[in-house]
Amino acid sequence: MAIQKTILKLPSGGLDFKAVFGYPQSTAVEAGGLIFCSAMVAVDPETGEREHGTVTSEVHRIFKNLKLLLEANGSGLERLVRVHAMLYSRMEYDVLNRAYRQYVPSPPARMVWDVVIESGFKVQLDVIAAAGR
Binding to other proteins, residues 7-26 (CB under 8 A): 7, 18, 22-26
If the CB atoms of residues 34 and 104 are measured against other proteins, the closer one turns out to be 34
Residues 12, 43: contact at Cβ < 8 Å? no
Provide the minimum distance between the beta carbon of 8 and other proteins in the complex, in angstroms, as a whole number. Answer: 9
Q: Cβ of residue 107: shortest distance to other proteins, in angstroms?
A: 20
Q: At closest approach, how far in Å is the CB of 88 from other proteins?
A: 10
Nearest distance in Å: CB 35, other proteins:
9
| Backbone dihedral region for residue 24 (phi beyond 0: left; psi -120 to 50: alpha; all else: beta) | beta
User: How would you classify residue 119: left for phi > 0, otherwise alpha for psi between -120 and 50, otherwise beta?
Assistant: left
**The amino acid at 79:** R
Q: Which stretch binds other proteins (CB under 8 A): 46-54, 60-68, 71-79, 112-120?
A: 112-120
Contact 38, 18 (CB under 8 A): no
7 pairs with which residues across the strands?
29
Contact between 42 and other proteins by CB under 8 A: the answer reads no
Residue 95 or residue 128: which is nearer to other proteins going by CB? 128
Q: Which residue type sits at 18?
A: K
